[in-house]
Structure 1
Amino acid sequence: MSSKKKSVSARDEKLAAARKQQQASERRRSALIAGAAGLAIVIIAAAVTWAILGERDERQAAGDLSGVKTFDYNGGNHVDGKIDYKESPPVGGEHNAVWLNCGTYDEPVPNEHAVHALEHGAVWITYDPELPEADVKKLDDALPDTYTVLSPYEGKMPSKIVLSAWDHQLSVDSADDPRIKGFIKEYRQGEQTPEPGAACTGGVTPETSLVK
């Protein structure tokens, strides 16, 4: 065999070996890509499952809000003087032009100012004045820092504890009821709010009654 033919044969062998190496490399890369894609699918599926289970657990922890009563009041109706509300405590309707400052109160607050706070997206938690102090503390501990009002209520209520948001109300008998946190999460600055984002400070604070 001539040296030229030997050179061509050696080159062909090198090319063939290079092609095999490239093909093997491409197979490994394809396997890695397929493995990564499969892993990504597993991760995404796990994340979706975790989110669904988390939402389910959160709903269960919040309790069933099907007991919430709904009403139909228009916002923006400012009037002077005392108002005779249909609901006790009220959930909407005419109210004083000045809103109640959000916070925790140890004395009953004026309905007319509290309803204006509801219009701004606050949740108003009222309780029987005879409710044990330990239960009042539980209610207070459940409250976010803003857009909530907690106060005893001097009028007749359908239960020991009533949670009110604009056009929505829930009656519960225990400070441990999981629906309390669920109601606050659902309706504080919720979609039902006539004036979302409006102030919850800078209004009126009844004298000697604000705890915090």
Structure 2
Amino acid sequence: MSPDKRKSGNPATQADIDLTVKQQREQKRQEKLAEYQKQIARRKRSKIVWWVVGATAALAVVAVVVASFVFAPAPAPSYQAGGSTGREIEGVQTFQNRSDHVQGSVTYDQTPPAGGPHNPVWLNCGVYTEPQPNENAVHALEHGAVWITYDPSRVDAAGIDALKAVMPSTYALLSPYPGMDTPVAVSAWNHQLKVDDPTDPRIKEFFTEYWRSQNAPEPTAPCTGGVDGPGKA
């Protein structure tokens, strides 16, 4: 006979039996309540864990997005093609050079050259870590490019970075040029600026005035599809 159905003829004994049954029922109820409370607690912990995981993941995404903006390289500056206004920039020299195509090496009137006879194949625009053939670089000038050259013995890495910072994404060349009479020279077709400081603001002014100038012999010709010189970055 189960405890719930136990009976006794003695009233006192029956009272004890009834009390014991009540205690057992209460104990079972307390056990069920305790188990239910444990389940509720586990669910709460699970929700907290997932909330923390979700919040952490969201913060990580936000951090990545912020970092992509903070540490992204600055965009290349843009200049107006054919935006020459004829204004004078202090220190800019102007020349008259031929523009015929020739084979072999050429002796130029300027160092670095700012125009003149040149190789039939142009130098592709971009950043170079080694000196480039004059004859190919001059052909790029004929297409409206601007050529930045620097003396590697007088311009350090920070100076090179400063020069890169003023370069547009195309129609620009940067290369070392040992033996120049100034640390930096900026050349366009028939125009040249020589400066001592790579951060000189006139370099950017030169780009504004002479980049893709309509005064170049072939201002609409490409600056790609030619030849890559040594040390193309």
1:135 pairs with 2:176: no
Report the TM-score, using the length of structure 1 for normalisation.
0.66
After superposition, what is the alpha-carbon deviation per residue over 1:126-178, rounded to whole angstroms, capped at 9, x for unaligned?
Answer: 00012110110110111000100000003x32310000000000001111100
1:135 is paired with a residue whose SS is: helix
Q: Which runs of 5+ in 1 are unaligned?
A: 1-63
Map of 2:37 onto structure 1: none
After superposition, what is the alpha-carbon deviation per residue over 1:103-147, rounded to whole angstroms, capped at 9, x for unaligned?
Answer: 000000100000000000000000001211011011011100010
1:66 is paired with a residue whose SS is: coil
One-letter code of the match for 1:122? A
| Distance of 2:114 and 2:181 partners within structure 1 | 13
Q: Pairwise CA RMSD of aligned residues?
A: 1.4
Map of 2:109 onto structure 1: 86
| Distance of 2:98 and 2:108 partners within structure 1 | 14
Map of 1:118 onto structure 2: 141
After superposition, what is the alpha-carbon deviation per residue over 1:5-49, rounded to whole angstroms, capped at 9, x for unaligned?
Answer: xxxxxxxxxxxxxxxxxxxxxxxxxxxxxxxxxxxxxxxxxxxxx
Map of 1:194 onto structure 2: 217
Map of 1:185 onto structure 2: 208
One-letter code of the match for 2:143? H
Map of 2:32 onto structure 1: none
One-letter code of the match for 2:232? L
2:101 is paired with a residue whose SS is: coil
Q: Which runs of 5+ in 2 are unaligned?
A: 1-87
Moved over 6 A (4+): none
1:153 pairs with 2:170: no
After superposition, what is the alpha-carbon deviation per residue over 1:38-97, rounded to whole angstroms, capped at 9, x for unaligned?
Answer: xxxxxxxxxxxxxxxxxxxxxxxxxx713100001132x111111111111001110000
| Aligned counterpart in structure 2 of residue 67 of structure 1, from 74, 81, 91 | 91
Map of 1:203 onto structure 2: 226
2:90 is paired with a residue whose SS is: helix
Counterpart mapping for 1:42-53 below 5 A? none
| Distance of 1:196 and 1:203 partners within structure 2 | 15
Counting matched residue pairs gives 146
**Higher-Rg member (1/2):** 2
| Distance of 1:120 and 1:104 partners within structure 2 | 17
